[in-house]
């Protein structure tokens, strides 16, 4: 049973972080990249755990595909959705070239991009 969780972790890391698909020229670069990607996987997981504070993460649903449990893609989208608005608004300047959009449209756009990135 514990091995299954590890296998799922590697599959999710392959799908979303590119583990085992590195294109470096040297074996040393590959040996450095995989641990870094697994560390990133762990950081995203820990950050999401902190954000949720014991609440369940709702998986994103599609009309043609129902998910019972959230995946790492849902977790990654949650973390991106928390980090991007802070980064975007911290770099924004107020000026004549700024276009304001309604909040619901902004939230929809960031949610869509969080899953597409």
**Banded model confidence at residue 52, pLDDT cuts 50, 70, 90:** very high
The domain tally of the chain equals 1
Q: Which residues are registered as beta bridge partners of 62?
A: 65
Tokens at residue 33, please?
A: 């990249």
**Which residues contact residue 76 at a Cβ distance below 8 angstroms, ignoring those fewer than 6 apart?**
16, 44, 114
- Domain range for 100: 2-116
Residues 6 or more apart whose CB falls under 8 angstroms from that of 67 comprise 59, 60, 61
Of 19-23, 78-82, 94-98, 101-105, give the lowest mean pLDDT range. Answer: 19-23
User: What is the pLDDT confidence band of residue 49, given thresholds at 50, 70 and 90?
Assistant: very high
Tell me how far apart the alpha carbons of residues 45 and 51 are, in angstroms, rounded to a whole number: 10
In this prediction the pTM is 0.64
38 alpha carbon, distance to own chain's centre: 13
Nearest C-alpha neighbor of 70 from the set 108, 16, 18, 2: 16
What does the block give as tokens for 71?
């995946």
Average model confidence (pLDDT) for the chain?
A: 77
């Amino acid at each position: 049973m514990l091995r299954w969780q590890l296998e799922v972790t590697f599959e999710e890391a392959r799908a979303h972080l590119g583990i085992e698909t590195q294109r470096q020229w040297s074996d040393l670069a590959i040996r450095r990249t995989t641990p870094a990607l697994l560390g990133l996987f762990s950081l995203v997981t820990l950050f999401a755990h902190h954000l949720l504070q014991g609440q369940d993460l709702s998986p994103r649903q599609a009309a043609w595909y129902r998910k019972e449990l959230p995946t790492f893609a849902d977790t990654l989208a949650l973390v991106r959705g928390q980090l991007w608005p802070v980064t975007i608004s911290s770099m924004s300047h107020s000026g004549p070239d700024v276009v304001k959009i309604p909040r619901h449209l902004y939230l929809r756009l960031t949610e869509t991009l969080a899953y597409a990135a």
